[in-house]
Amino acid sequence: MIPDWKLADEALRNIEVKGNENNQPVTIIGVAEGLKCIGIGTDAAVFQYHLTPNYVFKVYSHQALKKKEVEKHVYEHLKGSRYFPQLYGSGINYIVLSFEEGVTFYDCLLQGIPITEQAIQDVEEAREYVRSQGLNPRDIHLKNILLQNGRGKVLDVSEYVKEGNDRRWEHLVWAYKNFYHFISGNQVPLWILETIKHWYLRMNLASFGLEEFTERVSRLLFKQRK
């Protein structure tokens, strides 16, 4: 029996996802009736097809096809976990996942939607489950965690086969415990989020340390509240 998500296959053949240099977001070439782009990354773009609304199609650039196989492998290992989207199949240059409603933590900050302690705990439990499957939970940040009815769900598992701890999640938890009460329920301007992101990346490049980063963020948030 042919799976119903195959209805989108012809439409997906009419678009091309092209990778760009310097870790810039991909470019989408072409159009297809009924196909809507709902997300863009540096390796792939995510589409939804009007006849199969319960699925999303993560289409990879030619340069990132190896990552497609890696991500498929990881999702197969995480099968059955409620903390991640479910894998339903794959095509030549895409994987098929469950469509997940919700708002990313990043957009929660922009829109003033409170991020619950339960959602934070869900991500902690998701990380433990990943480790139990012999994988390494990495690259967990504001834009790949969804808030779903007060619960947390993790997107983008492509780095779970890499070694090492990038500490991105640990830093987010620290910020949640130490700063979030200042801004919970308030809309945070985009320029502030992007400024903090820029400072964080510079900190990772050893331009300055965690202590100076903390002081900068504290001053910025305190000034914003005045």
Q: Which amino acid is at 13?
A: R
Q: In what order do the strands lie in the sheet with 35-40?
A: 35-40, 44-49, 52-60, 94-98, 87-90
Is 139 among the residues known to form the active site?
yes
Residue 28 dihedral angles phi and psi, to the nearest 5°: -100, 125
Residue labelled with tokens 């091309």 = 16
Q: How far apart are CA 121 and CA 127, in angstroms?
A: 10
From 9, 107, 139, 166, the catalytic residue: 139
Contact 62, 95 (CB under 8 A): no
DSSP state of 89: E
- Residues constituting the chain: 226
Known catalytic residues are 139
